[in-house]
Structures are given as structure tokens and as C-alpha cells.
Amino acid sequence: MRTPDELTVLFRSSGRKVTAQRQCIFRLLQGDETHPSAESVHVAAQLEMETISLKTIYQTLHDLTELGEIAALDVGTGRTRFDPNVEDPHHHLVCQVCGSVRDLVVDFPDMSLPAGADLGFELGTAEVIFRGLCPDCRKATSARSSPGVPVGRPA
């Protein structure tokens, strides 16, 4: 996504207003690689603005998604995750224990389908999700118990 300043211009030119809350959200998303959920953005935002509402978070994330500045993704953790990186095409690593998500900037050139395998589908994007254990949960698991904060439904 673009910088907060550029987003300010973009919002205005698309008829949206730029409030302190929205700028706060812009700043928080800027360079965030954790693929936050709406709720975690809310928590982070509340550190700066105690009264900011979850509704506002949802609305702004929705606006940003509409403008193509962030991507909404469902990796099966039960909440929608938001990805500020829409520049580089990439895939995702998902921790099966704590639900953390990281970008995977690897291109798989050989992922085209053999003729006839497409079952008549008109293909769009191919999205790869690698499931595994993040470094933290790896430590916690090999050691003893209590990993990070568990998240959402299994698979």
C-alpha cells in the first residue's frame, strides 16, 4: 500500500474524508507484516486513541480494500486477515498453532496446469498456503507447552 500521505490524497480524491482515526489506521498498517485482523488493528489503534471503535476499523479496512491498497485474505484462521503488501505477488506461510501469517515472496514458475486438468475452469489466481509452525511455536512445542495465543478453528 501507499504511504499515509498518499492515502490521504487518494481518500480525498475518491470522495472520502480523512480523519484522525483513519490516519492512525494508515500509520499502523504501514509496513505491518503480521497480516493483522480487524480486531488486532483495533487493539493497536486503541493504544493511540482509546475511544476508536471497531466499526471504524472495519469501515476503513473495507475502504482500503475497495481502493486496492490492501488485500483481505482468508487463511482459515477464522478471521479475515489484511495484507498491506499488494505490490509484490506472493504467497503465505500460516502457523497452524498461533495463526500467525507471513509473506512468502517466492515465485513458482512451474505451477501451470497440464492441458485438460483445468476441468473447464477459466483460471485466475493461484494462491499457495504453506501450513506449518512459526519459529515461536516451534520453540514452545519442542520445549514444553503454552505457545503463543491460539487462534480460531483448526483446519
Partner DNA sequence: TGTCAACTAACAATCATTGGTGATACCTTG
Partner DNA sequence: CAAGGTATCACCAATGATTGTTAGTTGACA
Query: Which residues make up the interface to DNA (CB under 7 A)?
Result: 8, 11-12, 15-22, 37-39, 49, 51-56, 58-60, 62, 78-80, 152
* Phi–psi pair at 136, nearest 5 degrees: -65, -50
Cell 482500503 belongs to 64
Decide whether 6 or 74 has the Cβ nearer to a copy of itself.
Answer: 74
CB of 66 to DNA, least distance (A): 11
Judged by beta carbon distances under 5 to 8 A according to partner kind, the member of DNA, a copy of itself, none in contact with residue 150 is none
Rounded Cα gap, residues 16 and 41, in angstroms: 20
Amino acid code (one letter) for 14: S
Decide whether 35 or 45 has the Cβ nearer to a copy of itself.
Answer: 35
Decide whether 55 or 139 has the Cβ nearer to DNA.
Answer: 55
Which residue ranges make up the site for a copy of itself (CB under 8 A)? Answer: 72-74, 76, 93, 95-96, 102, 104-106, 108-111, 113-114, 117-135, 138, 153-155
CB of 105 to DNA, least distance (A): 24
Decide whether 72 or 151 has the Cβ nearer to a copy of itself.
Answer: 72
CB of 29 to a copy of itself, least distance (A): 18
Rounded Cα gap, residues 33 and 58, in angstroms: 19
CB of 34 to DNA, least distance (A): 15
Q: Which residues contact 15 (CB under 8 A, 6 or more apart)?
A: none
Rounded Cα gap, residues 34 and 153, in angstroms: 19
- Give the H/E segment covering residue 72: strand 71-73
Decide whether 17 or 114 has the Cβ nearer to a copy of itself.
Answer: 114
Burial class (CB in 10 A: 0-12, 13-18, 19+), 121: exposed
